[in-house]
Amino acid sequence: IPFLHVSTDYVLDGSGRDPKNESTRPGPLNAYGASKLAGEEGIRAAGGHWAVLRTSWVFSAHGGNFVRTMLRLAESRDSLSVVDDQLGGPTPAADLAAALLEMGMQMQGGKPGGLYHFAGAPEVSWADFAREIFARAGRRVTVTDIPTSAYPTPAQRPLNSRLDCRRFEVDFGIARPDWRAGLAAVLAELGASA
């Protein structure tokens, strides 16, 4: 059977403003990105029938993720400062799982694998993603845009997490999911819809 591996936009350096395609030279900014890149390289070196699917900003009704964090913070705050200069495509975990299943079936049917990008659309900043979460959940939280420099974290994060997903759509016929539909489904599952 084919071997499928999920990787991340964090293997890239986040420079520029254009979406990054599969031929963009990797340049991880932190240990997480470096370890994911090492995984990609190990899979490629091992050979066989493999595919690596890079994605970004995954969210669901389960586990730790941005949507659940924003809902938790909305319980005790009426205003938040959220970075607005990191841009990417939020990806519903359910859509990522469905894409991987379809990809695996097509690869079992003889389609070659390789390196691909798959992320939600349209691209958005973390601040605008937060606003959409609060609007759809009916939470009255004011979001103030701040630059990444005003929100220091132990690990450096890419500013540009936009992924060019055209190759994946052409090769596997799977379009980028609209993250807003995925967000509506997650909020419904959490009982947090407005």
Q: What is the pLDDT of residue 151?
A: 86
* 125 Cα distance to chain centroid: 12
Q: Flag the least confident range among 11-15, 60-64, 154-158, 188-192.
A: 154-158
What domain count does the chain have?
1
Helices 179-190 and 126-137: crossing angle, nearest 10°?
A: 50
Q: What is the pLDDT of residue 177?
A: 98
Q: What is the pLDDT of residue 193?
A: 85
Catalytic residue among 10, 32, 116, 151: 32
Residue 194 clears pLDDT 80, i.e. is over it: no
HSE, CB side, 13 Å, CA atoms: give it for residue 89.
25
Active site residue 32: yes
HSE, CB side, 13 Å, CA atoms: give it for residue 186.
29
Phi, psi for 72 (deg, rounded to 5): -65, -45
CA–CA dist 189, 194 (Å, integer):
12
Q: What is the CATH number of the domain that holds 38?
A: 3.40.50.720
Beta bridge partners of 5: 52
Q: Are 71 and 59 in contact (CB under 8 A)?
A: no
Residue 167: domain span: 3-190
Tell me the H-state helices in the chain: 31-46, 66-74, 93-108, 126-137, 166-172, 179-190
CA–CA dist 138, 132 (Å, integer):
10
Q: What is the pLDDT of residue 119?
A: 98
Q: What is the pLDDT of residue 182?
A: 98
Q: What is the pLDDT of residue 152?
A: 82
Q: Are 46 and 193 in contact (CB under 8 A)?
A: no
Q: What is the pLDDT of residues 155-164, one digit of tens each?
A: 889 999 999 9
Q: What is the pLDDT of residues 16-66, one digit of tens each?
A: 999 999 999 999 999 999 999 999 999 999 999 999 999 999 999 999 999
